[in-house]
Amino acid sequence: MADKKFPLGVKELNKIIEKYPTPFHIYDEKAIRSNMRRLSKAFSWAPGFREYYAVKAAPNPRLLQVLKEEGAGADCSSLPELLLSEKAGIIGEKIMLTSNDTPADEFQKAIELGAIINLDDISHINYLEKNAGLPEVISFRYNPGSIIEGNDIIGKPEEAKYGLTREQIFEAYKIMQDKGVKRFGLHTMVISNELHDNAFVATATMMFKLAVELKEKLGIRVEFINLGGGIGIPYRPEEKPVNLEAVGLGIKKVYEEILVAAGLAEVEIAFESGRAITGPYGYLVSTVLHEKRTYKDYIGLDASMANLMRPGMYGAYHHIVVAGKENDECTNVYDVTGSLCENCDKFAIDRKLPKINIGDKVIIFDTGAHGHSMGFNYNGKLRSAELLLREDGSVEIIRRAETIDDYFATLTGFENSLM
């Protein structure tokens, strides 16, 4: 069972709200640090273990600084993400740029930073060389097709737009080898938000065997194997979290059976976890504005799908509690909604909750990844603030809330006609 407990009492929360009005996302620094340390410990057996935090999960340089202090690098997929990493002090081979229909300026910035470039397609080789030059270290993203099953979020590998086929992988490494590149890595990402421990061991087994084939066929000894992200979190209270320690031991076993036995004992293991690191330790805090009773009972919040897209976009479950009523009996059934002109703007449907009153503070769990980062301005909604609950109990604002002026800042011809 997942422990769903907000790190602040109702009095502490109300004091924060006096200074920082709702809605806002707040992140628990102490829990994030502890979780990052747990992942590192689970793979402490692996030589040079690397965690490239997936910046897209929570693209805030303050959070990246916290993770950098715990040894993490950055997994980037855009120019702004590269710049955010640089501002957080993450540079060089602590960055991995995973290419995905990538424009030239992103490759150029990655080369400037000394980042590892992970190519998504064999045709990108010439594009990269022409527009940015070849990096010192190159990696390719492998798409195994029907060899391995994906899951509901990422889909079947053979239907995914990502990665090179098995045949292309060998051709791509041979091309780079002929071009004089001497340092190589290997990458895949075939599952997302996965809660079954054995799925990660299966992925590792597949990739370790591929690394051995690269050595045997091309004489290439990859320096690292990036097993991607995909470690899930228990969004529902009844779900069990991934046992990182068991995953670490399971991967260690196949590492020794496959890589060590093939004379590749020095290969480093990497992950690019995002959701698994910060996801459970972010919360969207909102205030109840309205209660509507028609064919159903609705609770309307001052937050909307613009603040948390996942429930409306995916039908994803996010746990909800009412501050100060955590131990009250769940006697009412509500749809919990936002104010967008879209019927999918719902945080919960037919959710059993305590009796809710206007003005109550609602806490939505597990928003520390793909929460604020997936926000948008549809309906003219403004994106909320982000706060960091420090280890000493203080609160730091790490992103202010957007204003009307921010919304109009990119428009032209309206400079003298606003409010």
Residues identified as active-site: 341
Annotated binding site for substrate: 275, 310, 314, 342
Q: Can you tell me whether residue 259 is helix, strand or coil?
A: helix
In whole angstroms, what is the distance from residue 112 CA to residue 86 CA? 11
Cβ-contact 108, 99 below 8 angstroms:
no
In whole angstroms, what is the distance from residue 235 CA to residue 241 CA? 9
Annotated binding site for pyridoxal 5'-phosphate: 230, 272-275
Q: Can you tell me whether residue 184 is helix, strand or coil?
A: strand
In whole angstroms, what is the distance from residue 144 CA to residue 166 CA? 6
**How does strand 297-301 pair with strand 282-293?**
antiparallel
Task: Output the DSSP codes for 338-401.
Answer: -SSSSTT-EEEEEEEE----TT-EEEE---TTTTGGG---GGGPPPPEEEEE-TTS-EEEEEPP
In whole angstroms, what is the distance from residue 45 CA to residue 251 CA? 10
Cβ-contact 247, 294 below 8 angstroms:
no
In whole angstroms, what is the distance from residue 226 CA to residue 204 CA? 9
Dihedral (Cα; 214, 217, 220, 222), 10-degree rounding: 10
Annotated binding site: 230, 272-275, 310, 314, 342
Task: Name 152's Cβ contacts closer than 8 Å, sequence gap at least 6.
Answer: none
- Torsions phi, psi of 240, nearest 5? -95, 135
